[in-house]
Amino acid sequence: MKNTTVELQELGLKDYAVTWAYQEKLFKEILDLKIKNRREDLSLPTPNYFLFVEHPHVYTLGKSGDMENLLLNEKQLEEKGATFYKINRGGDITYHGPGQIVGYPILDLDNFFTDIHKYLRLLEEMIILTLAEYGIKGTRSEGETGVWLDVGTPFARKICAMGVRASRWVTMHGFAFNVNADLGYFDNIIPCGIRGKAVTSLNVELGQEYVDVTIVKQKLRKHFTVLFESNFTEKEVLI
């Protein structure tokens, strides 16, 4: 029996390391249940989660990333009020900070479809459809995960980064969508290890000082449920 219900958790502003540990906990619980089902010939439904969170200034480097793409030393990081973590997702280096919607879907893809490529493309489509509601044309860039604007022109810029981990079809990590982000922090890295391409934020593209994050999240949720043929339940948690 496939469980296509997803428990949505709004975590607010949370330290990256605390959230990472919480992701790992949920991830492990799903994996353990899948192993138990297999070993004991059970069919207990596996849960799915979707975490919305905002992080204080932090840089994270994926397992295949290059440390040289971080342009700050330890002292400079401290001066910027930022932290740094080398983590177990795919991809290179990225930045998280206030004004950015970070989403961590922790899904058992056996409940949906067993195709990581399709999973990433649907997450990108969720962002693309949300941007379209603001009159902005988001696109994919061949060979580069995430969502971009004006691909194929000298003005190509990234508005949403993505990097995931999966084991036994269970996912973690996810996407970082710049909505009201301080783009200056991206000057301290080579974003996603890609030279010569800029980064942007939804408020900049709209020429607004601030975009209502609650409304953006509602749009993301709507498109996710359609794309993944799922429904959300909501739960408040303290971590």
- Residue numbers belonging to the annotated binding site for substrate: 89-96, 161-163, 174-176
Dump strand ranges (E) for 14-89: 49-54, 58-61, 83-86
Alpha-carbon gap, residue 126 to 131, rounded angstroms: 9
Alpha-carbon gap, residue 91 to 144, rounded angstroms: 9
Amino acid identity, position 177: F
Alpha-carbon gap, residue 63 to 30, rounded angstroms: 22
Contact present, 43 and 34 (Cβ < 8 Å): no
Q: How many CB atoms lie within 10 A of CB 150?
A: 14
Annotated binding site: 89-96, 161-163, 174-176
Contact present, 230 and 188 (Cβ < 8 Å): no
Q: Is 125 exposed, middle or buried (0-12, 13-18, 19+ CB in 10 A)?
A: middle
Alpha-carbon gap, residue 121 to 44, rounded angstroms: 29
Give all strands of the β-sheet with 93-96 in edge-to-edge order. Answer: 83-86, 58-61, 93-96
What residues are labeled active site?
192
